[in-house]
Structure 1
Amino acid sequence: MSAEFTLVFDAYGKLVVTLADGTQHVGALVARAFPIATPDQCISILSAEGKELAWVESLNDLPANERDIVAQALQGREFMPEILRLDGVNSFSTPSVWRVQTNRGSAQLVLKGEEDIRRLSATRLIVADAHGVQFLIRDLPSLDRHTRKLLDRFL
């Protein structure tokens, strides 16, 4: 992979991709094709205009320094806290305010309606709050009983 392109951040924090032919693309973007199912595979490197410059089958295909750059670029682009526990809800009708513990700390989210809870698989859910933040429930059966009981009221 490194023969096809190189990655660096410029002095302004923009991602710069240099292709094998020497052309540089400033302000490039990195996007996962399947951010939840396979976060370390199928990664696209795009120009600022959205044209695909390179495709990475697996982060492990990249040298360590470029893997770190891709991870840093993705972290700046993606924000999806994972719900670990549901502490409480103010109402079982919507809209309702949920108090949750996430992998990024305590949070509150406003659920506008049951349609804002989407099932990705039998065990994975995405909960979209009123402010557009999406929360991930990675493994529903692994959550504590109290959390599952509260969630069942909305599913």
Structure 2
Amino acid sequence: MASTTFTLSRDTFGKLVMTAEDGQVFEGVAPVRAFPIQSPDEGISLVLGNGKEVAWIERLDTLPEPARSLLQEELEGREFMPEIARVKSVSSFATPCTWHVDTDRGETQFVLKGEEDIRRIGATSLLIADNHGIHFLIRDMFNIDKTTRKILDRFL
């Protein structure tokens, strides 16, 4: 189904319920981004627990309220990917090592197990996985401070 004509609500348990234009009700739908880093507001699929797609949304900003707000809430609750603004220090240039960073969600530290946990995403972005599986994003490695860039160069 490739439609954006539907309504969204929450049931008593807080799960999303989608009602299609034809009246068909889908309980427990979950939004999934097709391109979560490069185009987070484009290409969003609403899927059931078994993975079946029940709706496709070309652009989030084309949805009427309250569906847009409900989807944004749900996506924010499901996705946790802090964006690194600055690497303050690393305990060592050999792995495993502890990174002290400033993110868009505050200051934190994490353990980088190996250099293979730093992946390039596109031409300028990096995705760094810590030892707990949390992913940190560096949106543009060429548009950050010199200290951070110098540290990243040692690991890339």
Q: Distance in 1 between matches of 2:95 and 2:61?
A: 44
Cα distance in 2 between the residues matched to 1:80 and 1:33? 16
**Structure-1 separation of matches of 2:62 and 2:143:** 32
Q: CA deviation at 1:43?
A: 0.4
Amino acid corresponding to residue 48 of structure 2 in structure 1: S
**Counterpart Cα distance in 1 of 2:25 and 2:107:** 42
Separation (CA, whole Å) in 1 of partners of 2:7 and 2:124? 38
CA RMSD of aligned residues (A): 1.1
- Residue in 1 that maps onto 2:95: 94
Partner of 2:11: 10
Residues 26 and 48 in structure 1, CA contact (< 8 A), matched pair in contact too = no
Q: Deviations over 1:15-43 (max 9, x none)?
A: 00111222212111000000111111000
Is the aligned partner of 1:69 residue 2:97? no
Q: Structure 2: how far apart are the matches of 1:76 and 1:145?
A: 33
> Is 1:40 aligned to 2:41, yes or no?
yes
Residue 39 (structure 2) pairs with residue 27 (structure 1): no
User: Given that residues 28 and 48 in structure 1 are in contact (C-alpha distance below 8 angstroms), is that contact kept between their aligned partners in structure 2?
Assistant: yes
Correspondence for 2:126: 125
Structure 1 gaps of 5+ residues are none
Partner of 1:81: 82
Find the aligned partners of 1:63 and 1:27 in 2 and give their Cα distance.
20
Q: 1:108 maps to which residue? A: 109
**Shift of residue 64, structure 1, vs aligned partner:** 2.4
Q: How does 1:131-150 map to 2 (within 5 A)?
A: 131-150=132-151
- Runs of 4 or more above 2 Å deviation: none
Alpha-carbon offset, residue 65 of structure 1: 1.4
TM-score for both structures, normalised by structure 2? 0.95
5+ residue gaps, structure 2, are none
- The letter for the 2-side match of 1:23 is Q
Aligned residue number for residue 57 of structure 1 = 58
